[in-house]
Amino acid sequence: MEEKNRIPYKIYLEENEMPKAWYNLRADMKEKPAPLLNPATGKPMTAEELSVVFCDELIKQELDNDTRYYEIPQEIRDFYKMYRPSPLVRAYCLEEKLQTPAKIYYKFEGNNTSGSHKLNSAIAQAYYAKKQGLKGVTTETGAGQWGTALSMACAYFGLECKVFMVKISYEQKPFRREVMRTYGADVTPSPSMETNVGRKILAEHPGTTGSLGCAISEAVEVAVSSEGYRYVLGSVLNQVLLHQSVIGLETKAALDKYGIHPDIIIGCAGGGSNLGGLIAPFMGEKLRGEADYRIIAVEPASCPSFTRGTFAYDFCDTGMICPLAKMYTLGSGFIPSPNHAGGLRFHGMSSTLSQLYHDGYMEATSVEQTSVFDAAEFFARTEGILPAPESAHAIRVALDEALKCKETGEEKTIVFGLTGTGYFDLKAYEAYNDGRMVDYIPTDEEIAASVAKLPKVE
Ligand SMILES: *Cc1c(COP(=O)(O)O)cnc(C)c1O
């Protein structure tokens, strides 16, 4: 009870306590993430080569491994004010229900209309595109959160927005599509007949349900061939992790305000942006030798890039037109089973996080989707929030760690990222509630066959 009086259920920051700069984790890494390579030459991509695809200021951020802080432009801070700070919640109800001595906190990023953390980077990317005088941007979206976030950001700055949406999501999540259209975006199911790469993929795999890698190829093709357009990406890239550092900076400021030191920090990992953002300032301290934390990435057993992938250069897209990134990957042709409902379907992982994982600064674990939804249901009934399936991967492992504390009697402090809400994922919840949800784990042979097709790089 004493603790309850001391630490509020929700910790908010005052306006003057909000981060004024993003933190670039790479500045503190001794082993920098490997550079993007031009697939044609095998040499690092130059800013000039990238400028065909990406906005200039974002390229600068992408390639900058040295500048520690980037001031957040006032226009972006003004937009952040509409939905930030996000609350850091002390999960008292969860602790009580679990009867654990662990102290559990979660940073909730679902309090905006797009429903996830993706808006933090979408608004930054739209801002720089507008500042460059562009007409519009193209992108892909898988589950739909990124497309929704980008639509909102583009509407705010008056930019056109063309979204290629993975076909299975387009069909399963018609409501997400309508949110995007309400914000003015043009939404096309991918693969489509609108692009060369889409037509090629459809000819080779008729009836395919699509993949993120394939949608990326289509979005890039349209950006490169349309006047006044560039392509933007909602995860994986260094620039996205930079923008998402706002999550970790707020979390750290809120914890510091009450003198709380976390022992374990947990986040789900698709392309790595929320996790990279959440852990940024903590990992910075770890890299500088100022503090230590256990950091755990959680991924789906059906798309296990960290835990079963290979650390190598690979394409970020199925069409093999994007630069090569060095990352933990299952191969750019890897398409997770259509039975997989829980998001986090990207075949690769942020090069920054891949390097940190490779160097032993963080752990990774994979979980099966039925146990993820068990955790989601338990969390919804206990803490009240209906979590996104992606977020529930982190919940699963947070619950497991809290239960371990119950066994050992250790009073560990656990912080996890609750990245979004599950309102648009009710098809997945329906499958779970009907008992139709199955677990799917790719075989070693399937992964080996996909990884065998990795590009050869010196
Ligand atoms: C996109 C998304 C993720 C995964 O993406 P990362 O780049 O790995 O953070 C996780 N949770 C939610 C709610 C998402 O929308």
Confidence of residue 4 (pLDDT cuts 50, 70, 90): low
Average pLDDT over residues 89-108: 98
Mutate to test the pocket of ligand 1, among 180, 265, 274 (most ligand atoms within 8 A of CB): 274
Element (H, E) at 154: helix 145-157
Tens digit of each residue's pLDDT (9 = 90 or more) over 350-376: 999 999 999 999 999 999 999 999 999
Contacts of 145 (CB under 8 A, 6+ apart): 114, 115, 116, 118, 176, 234, 388, 420
As a whole number of angstroms, the distance between CA 373 and CA 296 comes to: 19
Tens digit of each residue's pLDDT (9 = 90 or more) over 39-90: 999 999 999 999 999 999 999 999 999 999 999 999 999 999 999 999 999 9
Confidence of residue 257 (pLDDT cuts 50, 70, 90): very high
- CB-ligand 1 contact for 244 (6 Å cutoff): no
Closest CA to 315 of 346, 353, 279: 346
Average pLDDT over residues 246-265: 97
Give the Å distances, CA to CA, from 278 to 109, 362, 415, 426: 11, 13, 10, 26
Tens digit of each residue's pLDDT (9 = 90 or more) over 326-346: 999 999 888 888 777 777 888
Confidence of residue 309 (pLDDT cuts 50, 70, 90): very high
Tens digit of each residue's pLDDT (9 = 90 or more) over 419-458: 999 998 998 999 999 999 999 999 999 999 999 999 988 6
The two three-digit tokens of residue 91, written as one number: 């999960």
Minimum CA distance residue for ligand 1 atom 7: 273
Q: How far is the CA of 285 from the centre of ligand 1 (A)?
A: 24
Confidence of residue 2 (pLDDT cuts 50, 70, 90): low
| Complete domains list, the chain, with CATH | 2-37+81-114+237-451 (3.40.50.1100), 135-231 (3.40.50.1100)
The two three-digit tokens of residue 161, written as one number: 């927005």
Q: How many CB atoms lie within 10 A of CB 209?
A: 19
Q: How far is the CA of 269 from the centre of ligand 1 (A)?
A: 7
- CB-ligand 1 contact for 391 (6 Å cutoff): yes
Per DSSP, what are the bridge partners of residue 37? 44, 324
As a whole number of angstroms, the distance between CA 282 and CA 286 comes to: 6
Mutate to test the pocket of ligand 1, among 235, 238, 352, 424 (most ligand atoms within 8 A of CB): 235
Phi-psi region of 257 (alpha: psi -120 to 50; beta: other; left: phi over 0): alpha
**Percent of the chain residues past pLDDT 70, beyond the cut:** 99
Using DSSP's 3-state secondary structure scheme, residue 420 falls into strand
